[in-house]
């Protein structure tokens, strides 16, 4: 492989690596075998998305209960909007209990959309809710995120450990949620920390920490967006300090990722992503109110939340909170 071609490969990790951090779930089959992380076009065929216009990516993380990869409940739903002209991006978290219209099903929690209607139905659900026109979707897994040993806290394998962890500024008083940390992980202290796979997974899964996550799923979704931005910053630093590190990161990422995107398209998308500075990424969770339906706790997205979605889905940038 020529030096020029190797250099072109580096930015692919920017997009893929940054997106991996938002999704918490498992696509394990019934036999327990890990399925790949998947990044694919929403529309199949030869029609290539325009990189002169805003790009919208729908990111899912789910928990497979059957051997059918379509039949998953998505614990994490994020919209990533990228504006190439402004070199800005927005990450929008949607609480998993958001009560929405699911085409071909009924009103239900957004977490159930893929379980009842498959990949295409889940995309249609978020498009109807938000007004976004998605070019790409992504699905990922606990195993790909933190490694096969994540439940035991061993940290073996997983994309986070393979690229050397991610640096995150943990607010006071640190993460103490035992439900997320499990029996083997110590509390994560406040301050700048280099998190390994299990620690990062605990950070992104936690919703019961009374100090850091008083709003439960809202705060968890926001924390997942924070990890995405931290990953982007990590990869940009790696690329600036040592292009060889970026190549090694790409090799690590490829162990866990399956794409149906042509190489040239993936390269252009990755280059565009790495041009965005972390401070130019806005991370929000749509505004919502806790309610109930059929005896179950739900989140009703408010008019402000709908306005936020419409704003982002216009050009990929949140202009009005």
Q: Are 77 and 96 in contact (CB under 8 A)?
A: yes
Q: What is the pLDDT of residues 226-251, one digit of tens each?
A: 988 888 888 788 777 776 666 666 66
Here the CATH number for the domain that contains residue 95 is 3.40.630.190
Which of 64-68, 143-147, 199-203, 305-309 has maximum average pLDDT?
305-309
Confirm whether 8 is domain-assigned.
yes
Per-residue model confidence (pLDDT) at position 201: 84
Of 68-72, 123-127, 179-183, 209-213, minimum mean pLDDT range:
68-72
153 within a domain of the structure (yes/no):
yes
pLDDT at 99: 96
| Most distant CA pair in the chain, distance | 61
pLDDT tens figures, 281-311: 999 999 999 999 989 999 999 999 999 999 9
- Asked whether residue 141 carries a pLDDT value surpassing 80, the answer given is no
Within a domain: 320: no
DSSP code of residue 271: H
Torsion-angle region of residue 223: left (phi > 0), alpha (psi -120 to 50) or beta? Answer: alpha
Total structural domains within the chain: 1
Decide: 234 and 194 in contact? Cβ < 8 Å: no
Say what the pLDDT of residue 268 is.
79
Query: Per the omega criterion (within 30 degrees of 0), is the bond before 173 cis?
Result: yes
CB 15 within 8 A of CB 52: no
Query: Which segment of 11-15, 105-109, 124-128, 251-255 scores lowest on mean pLDDT?
Result: 11-15
Give the structural domain span for 101: 3-315
Give the CA distances from residue 65 to residues 45, 68, 115, 118, in Å, rounded to whole numbers and listed in that order.
31, 8, 10, 14
Partners of 98 in the β-ladder: 299
Reported as a single tens digit per residue, the pLDDT across 41-98 is 887 665 566 778 899 999 987 654 444 555 677 888 999 999 999 999 999 999 999 9
Q: How many residues does this entry show for the chain?
A: 321
Residue 8, pLDDT score: 34
Tell me the percentage of the chain whose pLDDT exceeds 70: 74
For residue 272, give the nearest of 151, 121, 136, 104 by alpha carbon: 136
108 within some domain? yes
Whole-number pLDDT of residue 50 = 73
| CA-wise closest residue to 57 among 99, 11, 20, 107 | 20
* Domain assignment of residue 321, yes or no: no
Comparison of pLDDT for 141 and 233, the residue scoring more: 233
Please give the average per-residue pLDDT across 176-184, as a whole number.
90
**Residue 236 belongs to some domain of the structure:** yes
What percent of the chain shows pLDDT beyond 90? 40
Phi-psi label, residue 249: left if phi above 0, alpha if psi -120 to 50, beta otherwise:
alpha
Burial 184-201 (b: 16+ CB within 10 A, else e): ebeebeeeebebbbbbbb
Q: Between 29 and 150, name the one with better pLDDT.
A: 150
Helices (H) and strands (E) counted in the chain, each on its own, are: 11, 13
For the record, the structure tokens of 151 come out as: 């439940």
DSSP state of 36: P
On the question of pLDDT at 274 being above 90, the answer is no
Buried b (16+ CB within 10 A) or exposed e, 97-133: bbbbebbeeeebbbbbbbbbbbbebbbbbbbebbebe
The contacts of residue 216 (CB under 8 Å, 6+ apart) are: 207, 208
Distance CA(233)–CA(203), nearest Å, equals 17
Tokens of 96: 């998993």
**250 domain-assigned:** yes
Output helix, strand, coil percentages for the chain, rounded to the nearest 5: 40, 25, 35
Q: State yes or no: pLDDT of 157 exceeds 60.
A: no
| Structural domain includes residue 90 | yes
ω into 122 cis (within 30 of 0): no
Spatial contact of 97 and 111, defined as CB atoms under 8 Å apart: yes
Contact present, 198 and 76 (Cβ < 8 Å)? no
Question: What is the pLDDT at residue 251?
Answer: 66
């Amino acid at each position: 492989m020529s030096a020029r071609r190797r250099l072109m490969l580096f930015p692919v990790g920017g997009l893929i690596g940054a997106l991996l951090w938002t999704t918490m779930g498992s696509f394990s089959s019934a036999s327990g075998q890990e399925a790949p992380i998947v990044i694919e076009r929403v529309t199949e065929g030869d029609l290539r998305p325009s990189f002169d216009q805003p790009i919208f990516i729908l990111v899912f993380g789910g928990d497979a209960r059957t051997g059918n990869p379509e039949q998953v409940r998505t614990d994490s739903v994020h919209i990533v909007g990228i504006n190439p002209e402004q070199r800005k991006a927005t990450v929008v978290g949607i609480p998993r209990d958001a009560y929405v219209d699911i085409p071909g099903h009924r009103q239900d929690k957004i977490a159930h959309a893929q379980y009842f209607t498959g990949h295409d139905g889940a995309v249609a659900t978020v498009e109807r809710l938000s007004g976004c026109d998605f070019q790409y979707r992504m699905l990922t897994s606990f195993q790909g995120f933190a490694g096969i040993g994540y439940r035991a806290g061993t940290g073996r394998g997983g994309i986070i450990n393979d690229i050397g962890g991610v640096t995150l500024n943990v607010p006071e008083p640190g993460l103490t949620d035992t439900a997320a940390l499990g029996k083997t992980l110590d509390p994560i202290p406040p301050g700048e920390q280099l998190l390994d796979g299990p620690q990062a997974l605990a950070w992104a899964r936690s919703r019961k920490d009374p100090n850091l996550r008083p709003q439960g799923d809202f705060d968890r979704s926001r924390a997942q967006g924070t990890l995405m931005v931290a990953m982007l910053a990590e990869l940009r630093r790696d690329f600036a300090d040592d292009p060889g590190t970026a190549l090694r990161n790409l090799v690590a990422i490829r162990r866990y990722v399956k794409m149906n995107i042509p190489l040239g398209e993936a390269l252009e998308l990755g280059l565009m992503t790495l041009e965005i500075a972390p401070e130019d990424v806005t991370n929000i969770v749509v505004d919502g109110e806790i309610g109930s339906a059929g005896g179950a706790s739900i989140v009703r997205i408010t008019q402000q939340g709908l306005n936020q979605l419409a704003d982002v889905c216009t050009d990929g940038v949140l202009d009005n909170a």
